[in-house]
Amino acid sequence: QVGVVESGGGSVQTGGALRLSCAASGYIYSAYCMGWFRQAPGKEREGVAIIYTGDGTTYYTDSVQGRFAISQGNAKNTNYLQMNSLNPEDTAMYYCAAAPLTYCSGGFSETDFSMWGQGTQVTVSS
């Protein structure tokens, strides 16, 4: 069964750090775009970071640039999101998404991603 599993959420204080992990399961493609999206209560879901596992190209939304880093794991179907200098505005449910690279158009278009995880909660307290 094709899917995505996230882990690593939790609660931290302002200035703290967390690392989220994501793995795509099922059929293993030669390359993916894998990304993280988040949704805070009462807000629309937004893209946070994306990585293309073929060449390592990354995209970040402006609000996390310089604080978050997405990287590919040893296996091409895995990625990590290192989140540093967290603040309360980062509080949200974080979702990992993945798609075969051939379906990726660039940027944070949710329609590119055919595989979504259940989400992992990140809570940052002041």
- pLDDT tens-digit series, residues 65-75: 999 999 998 88
- Residues facing residue 76 across a β-bridge: none
Mean pLDDT for 48-56 is 91
Give the bridge partners for 90, in sequence order.
none
Average pLDDT value for residue range 115-123: 96
Cα distances (angstroms) measured from residue 46 to each of 24, 54, 61, 90, 98: 20, 24, 9, 11, 15
Q: Report the pLDDT averaged over residues 46-54.
A: 93
Residue type, 7: S
Residue 36 has pLDDT above 80, yes or no: yes
